[in-house]
Amino acid sequence: MSPLDFVVLIGSMVGIALYGLWRTRGVRDLSGYLKGDQKMGWAAIGISVMATQASAITFISTPGQGYESGLGFVQNYFGMPLALVIIAAVFLPIFRRLNVYTAYEFLGRRFDAKTRLLGAALFLVQRGLGAGITIYAPAIILSTVFGWQLSLTILLSGLLVIVYTVAGGSQAVTVTHKYQMAVIFGGMATAFIVLLARLPASLTDALTVAGGFNKLEAVDFSPDIHRRYTFWSGLLGGVFLMLSYFGTDQSQVQRYISGSSLRESRLGLMFNAVFKIPMQFLILLLGVLVFVFYQFERPPVYFNQAAWHARIQQGSAEPFHSLEQRFDAAHAEKQRWIRAWLDARHSGNRTAEAQARAEAVAAHAKSEAVRAEAKAAMEQAPHSGMKSNDADYVFITFILQQLPHGVIGLLVAAFFAAALSSKSAELNALGSTTTIDFYRHIVRRDATDAHYLLASKWFTLLWGLFALAFALFANVMTENLIQAVNIVGSVFYGVVLGLFLVAFFVKQVGGTAVFWAALAAQTLVFVLYARTTIGYLWYNLIGCAACVLFSLLLQALISSTSRPANPLPTSP
């Protein structure tokens, strides 16, 4: 990166953080700190909800998914519109009517203290783990590519977000989200424009090439539950994942209960219901177009070039040079056939077009086989730490090699903005839940507002330091990073959602039945995750269904001895 890139990066990140601190300097009470005094409009809520969900991993890793697997990952978001409609119509009015600080307070009022604590504890475990990943994931990639010291990258970005989140609470999170999203959209739009300008083919030809290599297959109606992304897993599993995430995860609940009215909160959610799928589509399409770009330009055989060169220096270079030469030959052959394919297409020669396309696909298979050998060689390296997916390095490599200075700084700023935006919401939610559901509920029941405000700041700081420690000591990633975050979420979310669905819709079930049912359902999900290869989105449905079913069965068993279930609470 050049000095100009560093000016753009540091100026935008520190500037937004300072602005957040300045705007929230007057926050003096718990409601202002945890709910932003409930004065946010729908646009601020909509952007804040989007910024919370979109971490740095979204923008670094998703284009890599597009490059490797095409548009299919967009199906992961198919459940989101329906889930957000359900939340807006059912969950949100009750959260607002009860005037809760956290979603788990509702469980306490509907069931009992132990169920509230179970819901809050499941949130803290999964979100605490996720918080470590969201700070570690971008840092490992950026430090590897730019040669920065990993621990310094984690510490600087982590400390910046801790400072303004601890100081300004929920209000600081929402205020900074607006400007962080502006940097993100500005960066991604610039990358799109530069990429389109640099493509050596028209957009139609680029899409033709992408389609020829099956990169545009966005919707798969296969009923196979072992396929990770299909229309059905996205719609059914996705509804449960998104219901859990948006309806029961405090990092999101805290965003939309800060609306100045029910209308503002609802419209903020509907904004996301409409625009999230096109946004994810465009990020994946960016990856697909990077794939097309690298059909005309020679890509690295292994995108994590820093690791590749380090590996060559570790041992015998000859096998790696041999892989490079074979990849060059396969890629050159593929390039020839792609040009012949497009020439035939322009001249209207269908037979020649079909033949050239088939040859290009065959040549592509050869080059991918060489890449697979390169990946295998890298994974065998001693002390490599190379379990992270090479796809995560595709977009950052493209940025570094193909974009002009200044724009590189803007894109890296966009990644950091995304990291800070999701991190700040997570820390805010972790601090809130620890304060409201554990500290105020168990440790100090009758302290002053000022005391709880101070406690919230301390707990937010402690969670920030925990996430930093996790990020500093984590060194193994077994999946593509965005998938790792979603897998952790899916393992826990289904059961938490089951708790809430029973609370909302199954009035005869009481606290004891749902508590033990949730524990049994969570155990079932752990066993299935360890012993089967079911696509992870299905764990949301399985965990939720098991929790509801076990609740009904247990309630039937103990109904003669337990007290009647609490009705749905209607007032604070």
Partner 1 sequence: MTEDSESTGLPLFRTWRAVYIFVLGCFVLWVGLLFALALAFR
Contacts with partner 1 by CB under 8 A lie at 71, 74, 78, 81-82, 84-85, 88-89, 93, 207-208, 210-212, 216-219, 231, 262-263, 266-267, 270, 273-274, 277-278, 281
In whole angstroms, how close is the CB of 216 to partner 1 at the nearest point?
A: 5
- Residue 538 burial (CB < 10 Å; 0-12/13-18/19+)? buried
Q: What is the 3-state secondary structure (H, E, C) of 421-478?
A: HHHHHHHHHHHHHHHHHHHHHHHCCCCCHHHHHHHHHHHHHHHHHHHHHHHHHCCCCC
- 400: DSSP letter: H
Q: Which is nearer to partner 1, 95 or 123 (CB)?
A: 95
Report the alpha-carbon distance of residue 177 to residue 43 in Å, rounded: 11
| C-alpha to C-alpha distance for 55 and 489, rounded to whole angstroms | 14
Minimum Å gap between C-beta 261 and partner 1 is 9
Whole-number minimum distance, CB 181 to partner 1, in Å? 21
Which residue number, 204 or 533, has a Cβ lying nearer to partner 1? Answer: 204
Q: Can you say whether residue 385 is alpha, beta or left, with left for phi > 0 and alpha for psi between -120 and 50 degrees?
A: left
Rg of the chain in Å (alpha carbons) = 25
User: Minimum distance between the CB of residue 346 and partner 1, rounded to whole angstroms?
Assistant: 15
Smallest distance, Å, CB 293 to partner 1?
Answer: 17
What's the rounded Cα separation, in Å, for the pair 428 and 418? 16
CA distance 216 to 489: 27
Cα distance between residue 403 and residue 259, in whole Å? 39
- Minimum CB separation of residue 246 from partner 1 in Å reads 14
- Shorter beta-carbon distance to partner 1: residue 15 or 278: 278
- Residue 2's Cα: distance from chain center in Å? 29
**Choice between 143 and 261, CB closer to partner 1:** 261
Q: Is 267 or 514 the residue whose CB approaches partner 1 more closely?
A: 267
Give the shortest CB-138-to-partner 1 separation in angstroms: 28
Q: Of 76 and 397, which has the nearer Cβ to partner 1?
A: 76
Which residue's CB is nearer to partner 1, number 148 or number 231? 231
Decide whether 262 or 520 has the Cβ nearer to partner 1.
262
Tell the residue number behind the tokens 């012993």, with chain if given.
Answer: 531
| Cβ(271)–Cβ(43) below 8 Å | yes
How far apart are CB 341 and partner 1 at their closest, in Å?
Answer: 13
